[in-house]
Amino acid sequence: MSVTAMRRALHESVSGLPREFWWLWTSTLVNRLGSFVATFMTLYLSMERGYSASYVGLVAALHGLGGVISSLGAGVMTDRMGRRPTMLIAQISTAVSVAVLGFMEHPVAIAAVAFVVGMASNASRPAVQAMMADIVRPEDRVRAFSLNYWAINLGFAISSAVAGFIAEYSYLAGFLGEAALTLACAVLVFVKVPESRPEDDPAAGGKDAGAADGGGLGTVLRDTRFMGVVGLSFLIAFIFQQGFVGLPIAMGDAGFSSGDFGLVVAVNGVLIVALQIPVTRFIEHRDARRLLVVSALLAGYGFGLTAFAGSLPVYAVTVLVWTLAEIVNSPTQMSLVVRLSPAHSRGRYQGMYSMSWSVAALAAPLTAGAVIDRFGAGWLWVGCAALGTVAAAGYWLLMRNLPASSGEVAAHGRKDGDDPSPRKRVPGDAGAGTQEDAVAGAAGAVGTAGGGRHGGGREAVPGER
């Protein structure tokens, strides 16, 4: 590809998104750059503290349980208090709890604080996703979510490498460093990110008055189509978790070292960083139903192929297949969640969606270990293929009568004005900014904040996704 073509592709990838998105994007990036606890918690407890594997598993489960609980609570807060206050509360709570965790020595205290860290670090996820839906035009949402997901993986890849060096020097320095970066991220949000919660529509009278706080969780639970998507999201998340849960166990049983696993799974991060943006440009305005069906099949059968892997190159090929599924599925599914979410209830809907990933992160380790111990790794990969098939069929059935998205309409030549979805302009929203505006906003944010964490991100430690 020529330099001119690359510059044109970059321009098309970043242009047209408001400044507020780029500040939010920057907070996501610096959040992931400070991810120390998520990366090295297990090693810290087992090698530094000398605790047993069962205790380490308990702490990991409590951390995940905290995320499950906070997903719903944070969703309610996002609708009632606003996106920005929820993010600030989550970030400050994360900074304090992570710093405290570094000083805990008693097993009960470590477990209790780890639970709090899990709650705090997941609490801003619904707010971040709801705000992104508020400030980005419907036809740009797939691209926006893709760029945000790219930032998550880039930051996580860098932080994992840096955290290794920090851990050799001092685990406590890692805890305190993450706390400092998280606090810096809260300052960035406070200074640069305005509130975006949709205002009440006076013309709607009493009907919207009850919707001003988003309604109740029962409203979400009664939305059968959306809850179907949540269930399918759980299946997809459960499958993807096996790349970091079942795969290392299976490779270890097959005689491969931890270094071998590191090389194989590195394919996932490298491909996401390299391909997320160009692949998204290709799929941005294509049929969401077909994309979700194809991604579910690629995920299921990508892991299913692992049953036939016997060498590192073959393992790498399987990772390549399910990574392509991840690249397609993540922005497409998040855009679908926004399409199905009423504006005043986006926090609750995003909280329920986030919970599906948190529950998968909790269930995947328990299930993978039990299946491998009882039946062997082969049956785990067969099960992943079956779940991928079920998810693909589910997406096809649930989306049969779903109207075309704004992106798909635009792709067929309609004008933006044909999109009936209202978009609230937030203070300072310049609408379709230039490439220079977008890059300057992101660069300025990095220079201002220097780093941070906002609690969204790579699901399931290691993966939002």
At 442 the pLDDT is: 36
Statement: residue 408 has pLDDT above 90: no
At 140 the pLDDT is: 86
Statement: residue 437 has pLDDT above 50: no
Statement: residue 93 has pLDDT above 90: yes
Statement: residue 362 has pLDDT above 50: yes
At 394 the pLDDT is: 95
At 13 the pLDDT is: 67
At 403 the pLDDT is: 64
At 2 the pLDDT is: 59
Task: Tell me the mean pLDDT in the region 246-269.
Answer: 84
pLDDT, tens digit (0-9, with 9 covering 90-100), for 182-216: 898 899 889 988 888 887 544 434 334 344 444 56
Statement: residue 429 has pLDDT above 60: no
Let me know: does 355 contact 72? Beta carbons within 8 Å: yes
At 211 the pLDDT is: 46
Which is more confidently placed, 210 or 317? 317
Statement: residue 457 has pLDDT above 60: no
282 pLDDT band (50/70/90 cuts)?
confident
pLDDT, tens digit (0-9, with 9 covering 90-100), for 21-58: 899 888 888 877 777 776 677 778 877 888 887 788 78
What lies within 8 Å, CB to CB, of 445 at 6+ separation is 22, 23, 26, 27, 188, 192
Let me know: does 26 contact 442? Beta carbons within 8 Å: yes
pLDDT, tens digit (0-9, with 9 covering 90-100), for 168-186: 788 888 899 889 888 988 9
What lies within 8 Å, CB to CB, of 340 at 6+ separation is 223, 225, 226, 229, 349
Cis peptide bond upstream of 422, omega within 30: no
Which is more confidently placed, 158 or 106? 106
Task: Tell me the mean pLDDT in the region 417-446.
Answer: 38
Question: Kind and range of the H or E element at 228?
Answer: helix 224-241
In words, the CATH class of domain 17-196+220-413+435-449 is mainly alpha
| Cα–Cα distance measured from residue 117 to residue 464, given in angstroms and rounded to the nearest whole number | 16
Statement: residue 421 has pLDDT above 60: no
